[in-house]
Amino acid sequence: AQTVTQSQPEMSVQEAETVTLSCTYDTSESDYYLFWYKQPPSRQMILVIRQEAYKQQNATENRFSVNFQKAAKSFSLKISDSQLGDAAMYFCALRMNRDDKIIFGKGTRLHILP
């Protein structure tokens, strides 16, 4: 069975600083996708970034980037120049290419300190 683990229930970072959220996952398959979703206080689930497992290059979306270590089954999210609007719950997620459902970690709540 596939699992996603986020070991940091909560984190805080100073505004304009950089923060890294950790995620590890477990799967015996080689073809899959990884995602980071953001859930602000509005409760809306927003896709932040995604990574195809077959791609070695780490995905980047503006201030958000990932460090994908396939052998270690690690998929961390780096947020640069943190802004107050980044305060949210962040979920790491895994989807097999042969499957449709996405498996989510339990989330990391990120606080931005002004």
Partner 1 sequence: DSGVTQTPKHLITATGQRVTLRCSPRSGDLSVYWYQQSLDQGLQFLIQYYNGEERAKGNILERFSAQQFPDLHSELNLSSLELGDSALYFCASSGDLEGGIGYTFGSGTRLTIV
Give the DSSP per-residue string, the chain. --EEE---SEEEEETTS-EEE--EEE-S-S-EEEEEEEE-TT---EEEEEEETT--SPPEETTEEEEEETTTTEEEEEE-S--GGG-EEEEEEEEETT----EE---EEEEEE-
Q: Is 98 in the site for partner 1 (CB under 8 A)?
A: yes
Q: Is 43 in the site for partner 1 (CB under 8 A)?
A: yes
Q: Both tokens of residue 86? A: 């980044």
Q: Is 73 in the site for partner 1 (CB under 8 A)?
A: no
Applying CB under 8 A, among 30, 44, 60, 83 the residue interacting with partner 1 is 44
Applying CB under 8 A, among 1, 41, 42, 72 the residue interacting with partner 1 is 42
Q: Is 63 in the site for partner 1 (CB under 8 A)?
A: no
Pick the stretch among 11-19, 29-37, 65-73, 76-84 that binds partner 1 (CB under 8 A). 29-37
Applying CB under 8 A, among 56, 71, 84, 101 the residue interacting with partner 1 is 101
Applying CB under 8 A, among 66, 88, 90, 105 the residue interacting with partner 1 is 105
Cα 51 to chain centroid distance, Å, stands at 10
